[in-house]
C-alpha cells in the first residue's frame, strides 16, 4: 500500500527521532511510500522587524533557519534511500502543519514531542496539542 507521510521538524532531538522512526517504518512497508519533511518558521514575532530591516532580511534569516532544520533530515533520508521532498512554510506552526496535511493528501503526520518529566509526558506541547486536536488524518507522536 502506498503511503504519504508528513514529518514536521524543528531541528530538535524529538524531530530527529520522528525522522528515524519514519525511516524504520518505511523499511517494513511495501509500495511507493513518500515522506515530506516540513518545517514552519513562525514569523509572527518578527513582523515589526520587517519595517526596520532591509527588504528580504527577515525572510533570508528564516530561510536560513529552515535550511538548518532540514539539513540533517535530508542527509539521513538520502542515506536511507527514502523518497522525500520538502516544504518550508511561514506562520503559526500548528496551522501550517494542518493546512499542509489536508492540501497534500497525507496519510499520517509524524512529529516529535519533548516530554521532560512524567507530568510533561501526559501533556503535549501546544503545537502538538493543536495538531492532534484539529487534524483529520492520524498523528503519530515520537518522543526521543
- Residue pLDDT, tens place only, 48-64: 565 666 766 667 666 78
CATH number at residue 72: 3.40.50.620
The pTM of the full predicted model, rounded to 2 decimals, is 0.82
Number of structural domains the chain divides into: 1
Going by pLDDT thresholds of 50, 70 and 90, the confidence category of residue 105 is very high
125 vs 122, residue with greater confidence: 125
Q: How high is the pLDDT of residue 41?
A: 83
Q: What is the residue-averaged pLDDT of the chain?
A: 83
Residue range 15-37: mean pLDDT, rounded: 88
Q: How high is the pLDDT of residue 52?
A: 67
Q: How high is the pLDDT of residue 119?
A: 46
Q: How high is the pLDDT of residue 117?
A: 47
- Beta-bridge partners for 111: 8, 141
Q: In terms of residue numbers, what domain contains 82? A: 4-142
Going by pLDDT thresholds of 50, 70 and 90, the confidence category of residue 12 is confident
Going by pLDDT thresholds of 50, 70 and 90, the confidence category of residue 67 is confident
Instruction: Report in angstroms the alpha-carbon separations of 49 from 18, 46, 61, 115.
Output: 33, 5, 12, 32
* Ramachandran angles phi, psi of 30, nearest 5°: -100, 165
Amino acid at each position: 500500500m502506498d503511503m504519504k507521510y508528513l514529518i514536521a521538524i524543528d531541528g530538535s532531538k524529538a524531530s530527529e527521532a520522528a525522522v528515524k522512526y519514519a525511516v524504520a517504518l518505511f523499511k517494513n512497508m511495501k509500495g511507493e511510500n513518500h515522506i515530506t519533511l516540513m518545517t514552519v518558521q513562525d514569523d509572527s514575532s518578527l513582523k515589526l522587524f520587517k519595517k526596520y530591516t532591509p527588504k528580504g532580511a527577515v525572510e533570508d534569516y528564516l530561510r536560513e533557519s529552515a535550511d538548518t532544520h532540514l539539513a540533517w533530515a535530508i542527509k539521513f533520508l538520502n542515506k536511507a534511500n527514502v523518497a522525500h521532498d520538502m516544504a518550508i512554510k511561514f506562520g503559526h506552526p500548528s496551522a501550517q502543519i494542518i493546512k499542509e496535511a489536508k492540501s497534500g493528501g497525507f496519510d499520517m503526520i509524524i512529529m516529535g514531542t519533548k516530554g521532560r518529566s512524567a507530568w510533561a509526558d501526559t501533556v503535549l506541547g501546544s503545537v502538538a496539542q493543536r495538531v492532534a486536536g484539529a487534524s483529520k488524518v492520524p498523528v503519530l507522536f515520537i518522543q526521543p
